[in-house]
Amino acid sequence: MPFAGLDVRRLFQDERANSQSMDPLRIVVAKPGLDGHDRGAKVVARALRDAGHEVIYTGLRRTPEEIVRIIEDEDASIIGLSSLSGAHGFLFPRVCELLKAAGLDDVVVFGGGIIPQSDRPALYDSGVRAIFGPGTPTDDFILFLNEVQERRVSNQPVGVGSSDGWHWG
């Protein structure tokens, strides 16, 4: 028995944890607009917190202006926006616009919710770097954040203010 005395499951878990480790990020998770459904946003916030990040959940019904102010106040480097109401086409680009106007070009914006494929190119063009739909495995969020960190370390543009067209997925 080549693995006698070794807990192979524990070795796999340790390897997986090491492969996903990165410096903790300050992440704001927000629900812009009048959408009152926040279960998905709370699942994402908890998954990011469980992955070791500091997560600030804004609660429901925040204006884009409030969200940007929270990002500034909390010195967050990532913002996750959630929309199930169909208002993503206005609200997500508005947050991106306000971030740029505030000089927060390095903040990374990702979105989630019910967002049709046909709406995504305009969101990417506005500065959203990733879009996650219902049922996305939480590991995908961690993989996205890993890539963001890798891009930052190698001085590749990644924030809402970069115009290179990069987006994840």
User: Could you report the per-residue pLDDT of 144-169, keeping only the tens digit for each?
Assistant: 999 999 999 999 999 999 989 999 98
- Tell me the residue ranges of DSSP E strands in the chain: 26-30, 54-57, 78-83, 108-113, 128-132
- CATH superfamily for 24-153 is Cobalamin-binding domain (3.40.50.280)
The predicted structure's pLDDT at residue 23: 86
d(CA 44, CA 67): 17
The predicted structure's pLDDT at residue 3: 45
pTM equals 0.86
